[in-house]
């Protein structure tokens, strides 16, 4: 491990480190590589041959509308796909293949190497156990020595995620805490074993905007300290602008565009990415007609032949009857669209 | 100055919480001495974080709930007591749209019949007129020919259109939307906001638009009232509120809006770093 988690500076008091567009210096080595990942229910592919990778110290944002397969991709990366769903493809965590590993071996990877934060903290926490004990349990499962040691660690973690008065909060039950507080407990739980990869599935969607800002800042600070890789799922492009280094846009079970965050905002290539950018509320003039995308995301069982976005696309033409492959452009971006193919 | 459609005068609403076997009873003041007027044709957005009392205020503004103190006046007269005959007559003029459209519709009945039920409850009209009114409103919300469908056969955006159709078929004077676009995806959210804005012009609607999303409030609101802990801390025309917020809480909210682009984020962080250094 290159970075260690410092447990003394409180989240509120510590100065926010200046973050540039490039990931930290030790970055570069791939932490998580997903190749040809598919998740299917029977013969219906909910996620189709998706390939993604995230490097140490880097944040990859997965964006797209609901039903595009973002969350399924995350749970598959954690090896949490359960019947009737089935996942196929390769998932390499720190160079080690984890797909097909037996449950017992996977449990050594989850929490320790890869940790996950879910959207609804209230649903993810045990309602009848004190939150301190829930975090301590993670530490004991992964072999933290003594009871007093664990207790000290839990309090340090609570302090680190900015929970005021850790002693008191550790004794609280989830229902006694607000949504933002519960999400901090979830983050404390996720970083308890200093994971190398953190998967965050819409961690701020259920939170108020001021709490969201605090949580995003906290995650970035933790990343700067530990050099962990982050996969961050969101449908909010504002959140993407706040936290992403790289962005993968998903549409109906596939990645349709992947590029650096500045490129996604300044020069989006795929018509779906462009449309998503255009229909954001609050960026244009108040009251003006928003450039909405007509229709909605097709159900996985009713995807059209050819390009899946074509029925909603303003630029669709005859070539779109053939499904475009995700191809690398000269800039390093990957785009699945016939439009502008051959150009830069 | 025209008479307001809705005037809230020093409205207060308290709830008892706890008081069960294990906990001491406490009184929570959800809405605390709030005054607000809404002029005809105006869109008043109410923003605030969860627990700020905005939904309670919406229910009082709709006459679903009576205040403990102060008065809610619709066209100068207080609302009738909930459940009374006069109260039921008032229902048509104020309509309410909730966040979750699938919870607001009967899963077993067709959209057309649910809209028709609204009409028969509030108006007397013959079957032919009724059918024509249903077709007309479905057409206006972009659901032409879909009246026979049941909710399960429709997408989230279509369901919210159906809810709007049902609310508008009785030609209300005031439409209150409580987080009406919050559960929708951005592309569908844009469709529904466009629809609301065009229906507002077409029907000359007055609207109260409750949202936690400042971007949405800025887009739809002629005026924005910011709520915090049951009180309105600032209530001004939208562009003034965004350009020169007065209340400290408004500034906190505005500062917490995520950056529009990564470049904007870096500029903000550089400015903050300079401030810390100075």
Residues A225-260 have pLDDT tens digits of 999 999 999 989 999 999 999 999 999 999 999 999
| Per-residue model confidence as pLDDT tens digits over B168-192 | 999 899 999 999 888 888 888 888 8
CA distances from A227 to A35, A51, A60, A124, A162 (A): 23, 22, 14, 26, 20
> Cβ separation of A15 and B260 shorter than 8 Å?
no
Please indicate if any CB of chain A lies within 8 Å of the CB of B254.
no
Average pLDDT along chain B: 90
When scoring B53, B101, B102, B186 by the number of chain A Cβ atoms within 10 A, the one with the most, hence best to mutate, is: B186
d(C-alpha A17, C-alpha A223), whole Å:
11
Q: Which chain A residues are Cβ-neighbours of B189 within 8 angstroms?
A: 279, 281
Interchain contact B97–A (C-beta under 8 A): no
Q: A18 and B255: CB-CB below 8 Å?
A: no
Enumerate the H helices of chain A as residue ranges.
Answer: 70-77, 103-109, 121-124, 131-141, 147-160, 166-170, 179-191, 209-226, 237-243, 261-266, 271-278
Chain A and chain B share a number of CB contacts under 8 A equal to 125
Q: Is the pLDDT of residue A332 over 90?
A: no
Q: What is the mean pLDDT of chain A?
A: 86
CB contact under 8 A, B187 and A244: no
Q: What is the mean pLDDT of residues B101-118?
A: 93
Question: Does the CA dihedral A179-A181-A183-A189 come out positive or negative?
Answer: negative
> B259 and A297: CB-CB below 8 Å?
no
Q: Do B49 and A210 touch (CB under 8 A)?
A: yes
Helices (H), A126-178: 131-141, 147-160, 166-170
Of B187, B239, B269, the CB nearest to A19: B269
pLDDT in tens, A82-101: 888 999 999 999 999 998 88
ipTM value: 0.83
Q: Which of A226, A223, A271 is nearest to A245 (CA)?
A: A223
Handedness of CA A166, A167, A173, A175 (dihedral sign): negative
Taking an 8 Å cut-off on Cβ atoms, the answer to whether B259 and A241 are in contact is: yes
In angstroms, the separation between the Cα of residue B102 and the nearest Cα of chain A is: 16
What is the length of chain A? 344
Q: Work out the percent of chain A whose per-residue pLDDT is above 70.
A: 91
H or E element that contains A316: none
B187 contact A CB<8A: yes
Tens digit of each residue's pLDDT (9 = 90 or more) over A173-216: 999 988 888 989 999 999 888 899 999 999 988 788 888 998 89
Q: How far is Cα B9 from Cα B36, in angstroms, rounded to an integer?
A: 7
- What integer pLDDT is reported at residue B264 of this predicted model? 92
**Option in A236, A261, A289 nearest B258 (CB):** A236
For residue A114, which of A96, A140, A89 has the smallest C-alpha distance? Answer: A96
Q: Which residue has the tokens 């492959």?
A: A325
Contact B49 A19 (CB under 8 A): no
Q: Which residue of B has its CA nearest to A286?
A: B219
Q: Tokens for B98? A: 């909730």
Q: In the predicted model, is pLDDT for residue A20 greater than 70?
A: no
Q: Does B83 touch chain A (CB under 8 A)?
A: no
Residues of A in contact with B221 (CB under 8 A): 286
B5 touches B74 (CB < 8 A): yes
Q: Which residues of B touch A179 (CB under 8 A)?
A: 50
Q: How confident is the model at residue B250 (pLDDT cuts 50, 70, 90)?
A: very high
């Amino acid at each position: 491990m290159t970075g260690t988690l410092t447990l003394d500076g409180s989240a509120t008091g510590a100065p926010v480190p200046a973050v540039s567009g490039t990931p930290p210096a030790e970055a570069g080595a791939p932490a998580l590589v997903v190749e040809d990942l598919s998740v299917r229910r029977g013969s219906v592919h909910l996620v189709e041959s998706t390939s993604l990778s995230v490097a140490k110290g880097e944040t990859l944002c997965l964006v797209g509308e609901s039903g595009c397969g973002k969350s399924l991709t995350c749970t598959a990366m954690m090896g949490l796909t359960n019947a009737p769903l089935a996942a196929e493809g390769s998932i390499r965590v720190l160079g080690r293949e984890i797909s097909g590993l037996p449950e017992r071996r996977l449990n050594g990877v989850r929490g320790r190497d890869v940790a996950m934060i879910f959207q609804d903290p209230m649903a993810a926490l045990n309602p009848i156990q004190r939150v301190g004990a829930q975090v301590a349990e993670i530490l004991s499962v992964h072999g933290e020595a003594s009871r007093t040691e664990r207790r000290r660690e839990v309090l340090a973690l609570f302090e680190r995620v900015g929970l005021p008065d850790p002693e008191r909060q550790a004794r609280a039950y989830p229902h006694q805490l607000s949504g933002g507080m519960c999400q901090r407990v979830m983050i404390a739980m996720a970083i308890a074993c200093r994971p190398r990869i953190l998967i965050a599935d819409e961690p701020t969607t259920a939170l108020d905007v001021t709490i969201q800002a605090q949580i995003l800042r906290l995650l970035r600070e933790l990343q700067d300290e530990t050099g962990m890789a982050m996969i961050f799922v969101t449908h909010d492009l504002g959140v993407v602008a706040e936290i992403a280094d790289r962005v993968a846009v998903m549409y109906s079970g596939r990645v349709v565009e992947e590029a650096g965050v500045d490129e996604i905002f300044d020069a989006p290539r795929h018509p779906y990415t462009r449309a998503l950018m255009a229909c954001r509320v609050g960026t244009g003039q108040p009251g003006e007609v928003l450039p909405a995308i007509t229709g909605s995301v097709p159900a996985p069982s009713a995807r059209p032949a050819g390009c899946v976005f074509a029925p909603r696309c303003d630029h669709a033409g005859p070539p779109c009857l053939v499904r475009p492959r995700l191809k690398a452009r000269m800039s390093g971006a990957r785009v699945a669209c016939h439009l502008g193919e051959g150009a830069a | 100055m025209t008479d307001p459609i809705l005037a809230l005068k020093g409205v207060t609403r308290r709830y008892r919480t706890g008081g069960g076997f294990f906990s001491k009873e406490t009184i929570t003041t959800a809405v605390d001495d709030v005054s607000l007027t809404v002029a005809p044709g105006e869109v008043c957005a109410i923003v605030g974080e969860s627990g700020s009392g905005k939904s309670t205020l919406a229910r009082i503004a709709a006459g679903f709930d009576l205040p403990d103190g102060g008065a809610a006046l619709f066209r100068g007269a207080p609302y009738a007591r909930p459940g009374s005959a006069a109260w039921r007559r008032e229902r048509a003029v104020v309509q309410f749209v909730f966040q979750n459209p699938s919870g607001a519709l009967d899963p077993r009945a067709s959209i057309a019949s649910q809209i028709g039920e609204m009409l028969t409850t509030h108006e007397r009209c013959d079957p032919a007129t009724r059918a024509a009114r249903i077709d007309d409103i479905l057409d206006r919300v972009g659901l032409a020919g879909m009246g026979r469908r049941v909710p399960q056969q429709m997408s989230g955006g279509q369901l919210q259109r159906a809810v709007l159709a049902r609310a508008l078929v009785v030609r209300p004077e005031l439409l209150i939307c409580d987080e009406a676009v919050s559960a929708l995806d951005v592309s569908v959210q844009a469709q529904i906001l466009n629809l609301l804005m065009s229906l507002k012009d077409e029907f000359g609607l007055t609207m109260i638009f409750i949202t936690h999303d400042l971007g949405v409030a800025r887009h739809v609101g002629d005026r924005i009232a910011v709520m915090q802990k049951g009180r309105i801390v600032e209530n001004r025309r939208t562009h003034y509120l965004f350009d020169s917020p007065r209340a400290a809480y408004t500034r906190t909210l505005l500062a917490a809006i995520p950056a529009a682009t990564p470049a904007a984020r870096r500029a903000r962080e550089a400015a903050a770093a300079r401030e810390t250094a100075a």
